[in-house]
Each structure stands twice: as C-alpha cells, then as structure tokens.
Amino acid sequence: MVEGRAGIPGYGFGASGTAVSPLGVEELDLLRQTVMFGGEDEEYLRLAGDVLEDQVEDVLDVWYGFVASHPHLVRYFSDADGNPDEAYLGRVRERFGQWILDACRRSYDEKWLDYQQEIALRHTRIKKNQTDGAYETPDHIGLRYMISFIYPITATIKPFLANKGHTTEEVEKMYDAWFKSVVLHVTLWSYPYTREGDF
C-alpha cells in the first residue's frame, strides 16, 4: 500500500496546489544514473518498505531523539525563546513517517518529482512554516544541515533493516538502496537553494 496514512496534516502527494518540479523525468534519469540507482535498488527499496512499515515510529524516535539532543537542529522547530513547538514537531513527524514509506514504495516519476519540490520549498523561506502555521519558528533551514542530515538518516536505518531476519547481503542491498534514495531526495531538495542556472 503506497497511499498516505489517513489524516496526515499537510500531506498532499499528488494534490492540486503542490509545487511543480523544474526538472523533468529525463533529468531525473540522469541523476539516478549519477547515484547508481537502478532497478535492483527499486526492488530492494520495496523490500525495505515492507521491513520498515511496522517500525516507522521506532525510526522516528531515533531521528527525533537525535534532533532534540542538538540545540542547533531543534531550533528550527522552536520559538524565539528556544521553546520547541510540540504541535509543529508532531505534524512534521507524521509526514516524516510517511516519507519513509514513500521513499521506499512510490514510483520515482513526475508526480514524485513534484512532491520533492514541495518538500524542498517547505524547508526554505518560500514555504517553511506555512503548512503548519508555525510562524514563531525560524523561516529557513540552512542548506548545510539539509546536506549533512544525509548521514544520520542513512546510518541509523541499518539496524531496523536487519530486524526481520534477512541475510546480511539482503540487508546491505536494502541499505545501499536507501542510501542512494536519500542522496537523490536531498539533491532534489537542494534546488530552491541554488541561483538560477546553477543547479
């Protein structure tokens, strides 16, 4: 099942009003080639989705614990006095959980490209805070943290992939596919941070 879990606040994959990606599927294919993301990776990502489906909340606990333990990261979800906006964190958490499943199960096509642009914009001054009305929190997440977050959300996934009795080789292939997928996502999320013609 690929559809979003019912009632996720602000989740709008394929909805009208979603941003339109400036890239086409041909450019996406070149990016896929660049990160060596092929058909076998798609197969192992789908397997990873099956493995992770009932572990999503546990994965999010690890990721949210990491963010909460670093003031320079949690500040993006906090007001000017440094108080975390719990409602905002909760709404983002639900979408983040769905993102895990989308990353594993969605077809990487034009509709998927559009939603990556939507996610990208929601991290920048163009759209951050608008979806959730969290206007007391910073209105922009620096690109440096978008890129550097690749490692935590990659390295921490492997123990979860190994929880269902798959062989070491299968776990490694799921992990490699996940890593490539995360790099591909963050590459696309970087687009709004670049100057015209620089991406």
Is residue 199 one of the residues assigned to a domain?
no
pTM (predicted TM-score)? 0.94
Number of domains forming the structure of the chain: 1
Quick one: pLDDT at residue 4?
A: 45
Q: Please tell me the distance from the alpha carbon of residue 185 to that of residue 7, in angstroms, as a whole number.
A: 24
Quick one: pLDDT at residue 7?
A: 83
Residues of the chain with pLDDT under 50: 1-4
Q: Which domain holds residue 48?
A: 25-193
Is residue 2 one of the residues assigned to a domain?
no
13: Cβ contacts below 8 Å, ≥ 6 apart: 4, 102, 106, 111, 115
Q: Please tell me the distance from the alpha carbon of residue 77 to that of residue 68, in angstroms, as a whole number.
A: 10
Is residue 180 one of the residues assigned to a domain?
yes
Is residue 86 one of the residues assigned to a domain?
yes
Name the helix (H) or strand (E) containing 49: helix 39-52
Identify whether the C-beta of residue 45 lies closer than 8 Å to the C-beta of residue 178. Answer: yes
Instruction: CATH number of the domain at 145, please.
Output: 1.10.490.10
Is residue 8 one of the residues assigned to a domain?
no
Is residue 93 one of the residues assigned to a domain?
yes
Is residue 17 one of the residues assigned to a domain?
no
Quick one: pLDDT at residue 5?
A: 54
pLDDT in tens, 52-80: 999 999 999 999 999 999 999 999 999 99
Is residue 74 one of the residues assigned to a domain?
yes
Identify whether the C-beta of residue 129 lies closer than 8 Å to the C-beta of residue 135. Answer: yes
Identify whether the C-beta of residue 111 lies closer than 8 Å to the C-beta of residue 14. Answer: yes
Quick one: pLDDT at residue 6?
A: 56
